[in-house]
Structure 1
Amino acid sequence: MSTSYYDENAELFFADTAYVDLSDGRRRFVEALPPGGRVLDAGCGSGRDALAFRDLGFDVTAFDGSAAMVAKASAHTGLPVLHLDFAEVAWRETFDGIWANASLLHVPRCDLCEVMRRLRRALVPGGVWELSFKLGSGERQAHGRLFTDLDEPGARALIAEVGGLETLAITLSYDVRPGRESEGWTNLLVRRLG
């Protein structure tokens, strides 16, 4: 997965995302977590959500594949954000929840199952995982980035292919950033089995 777009556009991406209110989107995830639980913000971008989870009393670990975004997120959150690619995730049964908001959508579809299995292993049995993809189907290139888009049938097929996960909810939402209100998102909440 290339991070060059984020390395080259860190200032713009940070300004565009760091202060977007996603509290509604975080609510169902937070409600499924134990108080003070361990949360992994996977592909944390600006650090917006890692900061929100920390402020809610969770024990937060955050990482991003872009060195420039790691620096921005560390400065924004005060957390020691890790510079890590999804393919390097090696935690085992460590986290009560994983938050992967608009991050896995940049993983090529051919690699997505293996990446998701790595993340699934990082969850404790019964742990929950929120992930989101742009609404659509298939892969596409836009502004120098690869996107793997999913609709509800594609999301269900992916979860079945990954295995070891129970789907708790699939919802559709629309982007809350100004000027992007027509962009749809497929949001999944899943739980690790066994």
Structure 2
Amino acid sequence: MTLHYYQKHAQDFFDGTVNVDMTPLYEAFTQYLTHDARVLDAGCGSGRDAKAFHEMGYQVDAFDASSAMVELARQHTGLPVQLMTFSEIDGKAQYDGIWCCASLLHVPSSELPAVMQRLADALKPGGVWYVSFKYGNGERVQGERRFTDLDEEGLRELLGAVPAVVIGSLWVTEDNRPGRDEVWLNGVLKKASRCGVDEVENVRM
């Protein structure tokens, strides 16, 4: 159902998201990256963020599950965006940073723990991981799309199944798109280094 939506409405979705200013979110993520970091944009949509990271000088891989979105993202970024799903991720300690902006929210809650573990496995020790979900609790269908909404407690509970990953910071933002009044939960996660980490969670509203 959700995939069909993006196939059918790819151009409209691209046009509505490609020019959104994401600068504050980029800064919250990239402050932990070295200049030559390798970044995965997982569920890249329009390719907006993959292009931004590429222009910052990072090595960027990107994928999306919609072939229509992949084609638009390839055209927009000039990058070899892959057609794949979260369940196909099989890398081990490949990335310094993983970016999941409004993409994991379409994964059914029953599948999220396994998907989160796959992504955690693909992240290098000491790596950083940005996630965002529509703020709430539970699964719902809106129009032609299925959503898994999370609040702070829901994300903490989810990460209980991924012991190598801890929360660095959580904060709530409003949607930047014109005419949208949605609220988003944002999280910067950290993967334990080989020597271990002792992160203190920072929650801000």
Q: Which residue of 2 aligns with 1:125?
A: 125
- 1:137 partnered with 2:145: no
Q: Which residue of 2 aligns with 1:153?
A: 153
Q: Which residue of 2 aligns with 1:190?
A: 189
Alignment partners' CA distance in 2, 1:161 and 1:186: 19
Q: How does 1:21-100 map to 2 (within 5 A)?
A: 21-100=21-100
In structure 2, runs of 5+ residues without a counterpart are 195-205
How many residues are paired up?
193
Q: CA deviation at 1:158?
A: 1.1
Alignment partners' CA distance in 2, 1:86 and 1:3: 13
Alignment partners' CA distance in 2, 1:43 and 1:96: 17
Between the aligned residues of both structures, percent identity stands at 48
**RMSD of aligned Cα (Å):** 1.0
Q: CA deviation at 1:163?
A: 2.1
Q: Secondary structure at the match of 1:110?
A: coil
Alignment partners' CA distance in 2, 1:156 and 1:34: 27
Q: Which amino acid aligns with 2:66?
A: S
Q: CA deviation at 1:144?
A: 1.1
Greater helix fraction, Structure 1 or Structure 2: 1
Q: Which amino acid aligns with 1:160?
A: G
Q: CA deviation at 1:2?
A: 4.3
Q: CA deviation at 1:71?
A: 0.1
Alignment partners' CA distance in 1, 2:114 and 2:38: 23
Alignment partners' CA distance in 1, 2:31 and 2:40: 16
In structure 1, runs of 5+ residues without a counterpart are none
Q: Which amino acid aligns with 1:187?
A: N
**1:158-193 deviations in whole A, cap 9, x for unaligned?**
11222210110011011000001x210001111112
Q: Which amino acid aligns with 1:32?
A: Y
Q: Give the TM-score normalised by structure 2.
A: 0.92
Q: Secondary structure at the match of 1:51?
A: helix
Q: Secondary structure at the match of 2:161?
A: helix
Alignment partners' CA distance in 2, 1:89 and 1:3: 18
> Does structure 1 conserve the Cα–Cα contact (< 8 Å) formed by 2:2 and 2:144?
no
Q: Secondary structure at the match of 1:168?
A: strand
Alignment partners' CA distance in 2, 1:143 and 1:71: 24
Q: CA deviation at 1:44?
A: 0.1
Runs of 4+ in 1 over 3 A off after TM superposition: none
**1:61-98 deviations in whole A, cap 9, x for unaligned?**
00000000000000000000000110000111000000
Q: Give the TM-score normalised by structure 1.
A: 0.97
